[in-house]
Amino acid sequence: MSPASRPPRRRSRVLRCGAAFVVLVALAAYLTVQYLTGGNGTPKCTVVSADDEETSYEFTPEQAANAATISAVGTSRELPERAVAIALATALQESGLRNIGHGDRDSLGLFQQRPSQGWGTEKQIQDPVYAAGEFYDHLVKVDEYEELALTVAAQRVQRSGYPDAYAKHEPDATLLAAALTGRAAATLTCEGRAETATTARAGGPEAVRSALARDFGRDAFETAGAVVGSSDGTAAGAGESPSPAASSSPSPSAAGTMTIPVADGAKDSGSDARRRGWELAHWAVANSSRLGIERVGYAGREWVAGGRAGEWRTAHAASGSVDAVRIVTGQ
């Protein structure tokens, strides 16, 4: 074989080696994503029935955070679990639990409320806390709404062109309401790594405290006596105001621990105090992606973010006390 034919063959070998390298890199990236998200390219959250393990509902971290806000606004008004289920079913139908900036005519937000119909300004309606509050304000004016069929109660508030559409979301909304109000313990999980600092809304214990105060109401949250511990060992009581920057930009130091005491009586598994503890714990898991929460512990159970570990498991005594919910960020 003449020397002139050798360079093309060498180039061919180089191209084949290069192609093989690209394939290996792509495979490694794929396997990494599979590990980090528990086998699915998109992180997901799951809520299961406390009575029937085969009944479940899967949704995204974005939907989980919005659902947690809707529930928190309802319970902070001391509304029953049924009210929360009605609100969640309505938001599932109207927006898929997404805070969207468009809709039929001038409809906006989680509940597709219309500025032209007196629901508030565009900016207000796209604030999930405000939107949920407006929904509940209208719902409680419906006579005996707890006794009505869910789709009837929702329609009395929404006045939709599709009055029966809410019914199909009742099973999923009921599962969500049971978990997010704390009645069904350790039934809400999220998998996958928390968002990076450039995409998460904020990180660190101060951001968690700010978000809790926003969803549950500052007065209700501050009376809980929560304590924030930072990565440098300092702590701040709940009476201090959260940093304004915490709710709008990522924290440069997101590591730390937040401990939220639960009222006396939590040792009784059926008590209101125990239910409140699980409500806060599930809220933290639902918001884990956007707030950089890595670990949540309560009542002998612990949730840990990342891969297939995103589930509730038996906890060490320090992380699973019934006296407090422990939230760890940025580990």
Single out the residue of 321, 242, 238, 252 nearest to residue 292, CA to CA.
Answer: 252
pLDDT in tens, 219-259: 766 654 556 554 444 444 443 433 333 333 334 345 799 99
Q: What is the structure's pLDDT at 161?
A: 86
Which phi and psi angles does 46 have, rounded to 5°? -140, 135
Contact status, residue 262 vs residue 250, Cβ threshold 8 Å: no
- Give the chain's residues under pLDDT 50: 2-5, 23, 27-40, 194-201, 224, 230-253
Q: Give the pLDDT confidence score for residue 202 in this predicted structure.
A: 52
